[in-house]
């Protein structure tokens, strides 16, 4: 069927890479050790390519790192030059064929890749025309074939690689090992991380510092648009655009190994909050055909139910506003543990159940969709985990491209889920003719500004949030309030504070507060208002005044220079100007994630592992 082939058409990866050129010893042992230190980046298969006596040798398979290393006797491979790759597929089933490294047609050029080649289909078609055969479903495999093709024009390897890199659209960190130049490694990056290192023993490249930290603490972070050539004495860096050489000194890393695994951050949660500009940029690189496919299902359904748990449910709630405002589609968000009781008797063949789960393994969510499938509903998924149960049971799914999230509190996965929903709503609006071309263009432009907005929100508020957390660290109660889509932001902010600081907190649509919650407000109670500019702005001012009149401490998150809000507030977190309300949950949740993190740390709690909670709740 049409959708099945689409699901498996493109393999995209979030992975770990390690390469080395050594003076003596067994490079493969450093490579497998380096890969183990990169396991946090996710893994479903691994592969290693070595140059031994001038020949290229390759071993790879799917499975757990330790098992594959042992089963394939990888540590017995010889050679001083080699590279390895641990892969975490974000589309399609992991298997041996799709595992990296990938080879060119001659079997002389091996390449590993972390990232997404957006134009791989057109490049592949072009190569097929020239009689190249492909064995995998990956976007990556086109790259070694392109290098092979370029070399036919009688240019050297370096120039062939430069020419190919100039043609790639998307993101990549690549490493090339080849018997054509058996003493060297070529590596390059564009928007996926790659770091170089040198020691007296050799030269290294890796996705991240921890992989090489046992061998050197002298590193050079490759920048976007740079190619590096490594040999046993060091490296040379050049710009991909014009081949000119780049001089940049080494940096000394002072982190411990444990700190390095968190890239110098004290906790995974802070690392993951800070990663959001990148995860959001990745979330904007979804393959068009997946968006189209899910949108077609949404368009056809008689009713659209959105189901999920915890943070993923909050993204569904935000989505219900986005679908309504942008695509004029009514959707029904429901927490998955309530799905069967609430809609179990009415869900049926005409229902679309769009299910969201970071892990793809949440018991309540899987139970809900089991029921929906039994009733012949169409189950669609949004997840961060390829190969999870959700991807197996969904008719079609989108992988949100957030990268592994290790902290128990969901942060970057929330913002990416909302971003995926916004893209679906935009596509549906276009399909249904609900927005003019100008409106669509404007929405698209705003969507693409979101990662920068988040970057700015993070940069400008770090110190401000620390200061605020200091003031709030002994508060015994928080009330989170927002109108419209900001009610979802309020709920998610509340969940963050609640789950990692254990401070009792409430969240309500602000208009609802006068129907009950206002009775708990007295002098000094902290009320956190989420106030983006937009349709709800004037209403939220009324809600703030109600709480202020009862002595509440008003903490507002609003646009920079929003004096209507600022003059009513005791504390303000100012956000970049120009975020449309429909997209506001993405940047506006960021200060609340940071605030909850700072509060937890000030209380001496471990935000990565809050009590009684698990990253994935797989029990009833």
Catalytic residue among 15, 187, 205, 527: 15
**Sole residue written with tokens 């110098």:** 264
Distance CA 601, CA 91 (A): 36
**Residue 5 token pair:** 């082939």
Report the site for ligand M6R in 177-216 (rule: CB under 6 A). Answer: none
* H helix intervals, 99-212: 120-129, 142-151, 157-167
CB of 14 vs ligand M6R, minimal distance in Å: 17
Smallest gap from Cβ 315 to ligand M6R, in A, equals 9
Shortest distance in whole angstroms from residue 38 CB to ligand M6R: 23
Site string for ligand M6R, 405-424 (x = CB under 6 A): ---xxx--------------
Tell me if 337 contacts ligand M6R by CB under 6 A. Answer: no
- Do you find a cis peptide bond into 55, omega within 30 degrees of 0? no
- Using the rule CB under 6 A, which residue among 311, 501, 505, 536 binds ligand M6R? 311
* Shortest CB 368 distance to ligand M6R, Å: 11
Report d(CA 608, CA 614) in Å as an integer: 10
Residue 531 designated active-site: no
* Nearest-angstrom CA–CA distance, 422 and 412: 16
- Give least dist CB 402 to ligand M6R, A: 11
- Could you give the string, one character per residue 488-527, with x where binding to ligand M6R holds by CB under 6 A and - elsewhere? -------x---x----------------------------
Per-residue 3-state assignment (H helix, E strand, C coil) for 395-439 = CEEEECCCCCCCCCCCCHHHHHHHHHHHHHHHHHHHHCCCCCHHH
Helix ranges (H only) for 254-336 are: 257-261, 268-274, 276-283, 288-300, 310-327
Is 134 or 502 the residue whose CB approaches ligand M6R more closely?
502
DSSP SS3 for 54: coil
Closest approach of ligand M6R to the CB of residue 26, in Å: 40
Q: 278 or 336: whose CB is closer to ligand M6R?
A: 336
- Helix, strand, or coil here: 105? coil
Q: Does residue 335 interact with ligand M6R by CB under 6 A? A: no
Which of residues 309, 379, 454, 540 is near ligand M6R by CB under 6 A?
309
Helix, strand or coil for residue 173?
A: strand
The 3-class SS string of 237-249 reads: EEECCCCCEECCC
Q: Does 228 bind ligand M6R (CB under 6 A)?
A: no
Candidates 97-105, 308-316, 470-478, 504-512; binding stretch for ligand M6R (CB under 6 A):
308-316
* Residue in 148, 178, 279, 365 binding ligand M6R, rule: CB under 6 A: 365
Q: Is 312 in the site for ligand M6R (CB under 6 A)?
A: yes
The token pair at 21 is: 């050129």
Q: Does 593 bind ligand M6R (CB under 6 A)?
A: no
Binding ligand M6R (rule: CB under 6 A), the pick from 310, 333, 484, 580 is 310
Q: Which stretch binds ligand M6R (CB under 6 A): 122-130, 214-222, 272-280, 403-411?
A: 403-411
CB count, 10 Å around CB of 431? 14
94 binds ligand M6R (CB under 6 A): no
Rounded to whole angstroms, the Cα distance separating 610 from 613 reads 6
Could you tell me how many residues of this chain bind ligand M6R (CB under 6 A)?
17
The 10 Å Cβ neighbour count of residue 346 is 10
How many CB atoms lie under 10 A from the CB of residue 210?
Answer: 24
402 contributes a contact to ligand M6R by CB under 6 A: no
In sequence order, what are the beta bridge partners of 334? 307
- b/e 211-220 (16+ beta carbons within 10 angstroms → b): bbbebbbebb
Tell me if 240 contacts ligand M6R by CB under 6 A. Answer: no
Three-state secondary structure call for residue 615: coil
**Least distance between ligand M6R and beta carbon 366 (Å):** 9
End-to-end CA distance of the chain: 34
> Does 51 participate in binding ligand M6R (rule CB under 6 A)?
no
By beta-carbon proximity to ligand M6R, the closer residue of 127 and 498 is: 498
CA dist 177 and 80 (Å) reads 12
> In sequence order, which residues have a C-beta less than 8 Å from that of residue 37 and are 6 or more positions away?
208, 210, 211, 213, 257, 261
Catalytic residue among 26, 375, 466, 615: 615
Selected binder of ligand M6R within 86, 114, 279, 362 (CB under 6 A): 362
* Residue 357 in contact with ligand M6R, rule: CB under 6 A: yes
Smallest separation, CB 371 to ligand M6R (Å):
16
CB of 355 to ligand M6R, least distance (A): 9
Segment contacting ligand M6R by CB under 6 A, of 270-278, 359-367, 553-561, 569-577: 359-367
Is residue 355 near ligand M6R by the rule CB under 6 A?
no
Strand partners, 103: 110
Q: Rounded CA gap, 565 and 545, in Å?
A: 10
For ligand M6R, the binding residue among 140, 216, 337, 359 (CB under 6 A) is 359
- In the complex, minimum distance from the CB of residue 313 to ligand M6R, in angstroms, rounded to a whole number: 7
Which residue is nearest to ligand M6R, using beta carbons? 310
Q: Is 15 assigned a catalytic role? A: yes
Q: Which residues are catalytic?
A: 15, 615
Binding interface with ligand M6R (CB under 6 A)? 309-312, 357-359, 362, 365, 408-410, 495, 499, 613, 616-617
């Amino acid at each position: 069927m049409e959708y099945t082939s689409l699901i498996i058409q493109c393999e995209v990866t979030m992975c770990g890479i390690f390469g080395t050129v050594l003076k003596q010893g067994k490079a493969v042992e450093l490579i497998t050790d380096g890969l183990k230190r990169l396991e946090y980046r996710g893994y479903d298969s691994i592969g290693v390519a070595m140059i031994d006596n001038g020949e290229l040798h390759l071993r790879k398979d799917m499975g757990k790192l330790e098992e594959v290393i042992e089963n394939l006797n990888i540590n017995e491979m010889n050679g001083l030059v080699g590279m390895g790759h641990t892969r975490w597929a974000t589309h399609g089933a992991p298997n041996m064929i799709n595992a990296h490294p990938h080879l060119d047609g001659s079997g002389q050029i091996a390449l590993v890749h972390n990232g997404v080649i957006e134009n791989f289909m057109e490049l592949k078609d072009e190569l097929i025309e020239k009689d190249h055969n492909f064995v995998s479903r990956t976007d990556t495999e086109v790259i070694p074939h392109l290098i092979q093709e370029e070399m036919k024009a009688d240019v050297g390897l370096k120039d062939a690689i430069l020419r190919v890199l100039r043609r790639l659209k998307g993101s990549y960190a690549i490493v090339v090992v080849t018997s054509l130049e058996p003493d060297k490694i070529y590596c390059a990056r564009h928007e996926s991380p790659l770091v170089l290192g040198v020691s007296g023993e050799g030269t290294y490249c890796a996705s991240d510092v921890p992989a090489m930290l046992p061998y050197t603490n002298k590193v050079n972070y490759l920048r976007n648009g740079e190619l590096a050539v490594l040999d046993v004495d060091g490296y040379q860096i050049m710009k991909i655009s014009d081949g000119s050489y780049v001089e940049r000194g080494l940096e000394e890393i002072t982190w411990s190994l444990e700190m390095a695994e968190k890239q110098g951050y004290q906790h995974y949660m802070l690392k993951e909050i800070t990663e959001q500009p990148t995860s959001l940029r990745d979330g904007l690189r979804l393959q068009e055909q997946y968006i189209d496919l899910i949108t077609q299902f949404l368009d056809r359904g008689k009713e659209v139910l959105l189901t999920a748990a915890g943070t993923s449910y909050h993204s569904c709630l935000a989505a219900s506003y986005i679908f309504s405002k942008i695509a004029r589609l009514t959707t029904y968000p429901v927490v998955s543990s309530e799905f069967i009781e609430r809609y179990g008797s009415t869900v049926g063949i005409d229902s679309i159940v769009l299910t969201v789960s970071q892990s793809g393994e949440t018991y309540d969510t899987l139970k809900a969709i089991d029921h929906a499938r039994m009733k012949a509903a169409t189950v669609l998924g949004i997840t961060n985990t390829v190969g999870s149960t959700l991807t197996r049971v969904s008719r079609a799914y989108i992988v949100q491209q957030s990268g592994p999230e290790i902290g128990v509190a969901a942060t970057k996965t929330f913002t990416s889920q909302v971003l995926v929903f916004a893209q679906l709503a935009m596509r549906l609006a276009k399909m249904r003719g609900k927005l003019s071309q100008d409106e669509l263009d404007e929405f698209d432009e705003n969507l693409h500004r979101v990662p920068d907005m988040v970057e700015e929100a993070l940069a400008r508020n770090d110190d401000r949030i620390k200061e605020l957390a200091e003031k709030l660290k002994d508060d015994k109660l928080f009330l989170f309030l927002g109108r419209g889509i900001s009610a979802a932001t309020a709920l998610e902010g509340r969940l963050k504070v609640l789950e990692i600081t254990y401070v009792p907190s409430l969240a309500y649509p602000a208009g609802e507060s006068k129907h009950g919650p206002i009775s708990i407000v007295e002098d000094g109670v902290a009320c956190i208002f989420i106030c983006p500019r937009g349709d709800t702005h004037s209403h939220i001012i009324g809600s703030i005044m109600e709480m202020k009149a009862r002595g509440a401490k008003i903490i507002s998150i609003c646009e920079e220079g929003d004096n209507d809000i600022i003059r009513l507030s005791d504390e303000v977190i100012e956000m970049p100007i120009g975020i449309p309300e429909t997209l506001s949950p993405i940047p506006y949740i960021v200060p609340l994630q940071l605030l909850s993190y700072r509060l937890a740390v000030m209380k001496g709690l471990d935000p990565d592992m809050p009590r009684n909670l698990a990253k994935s709740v797989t029990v009833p």
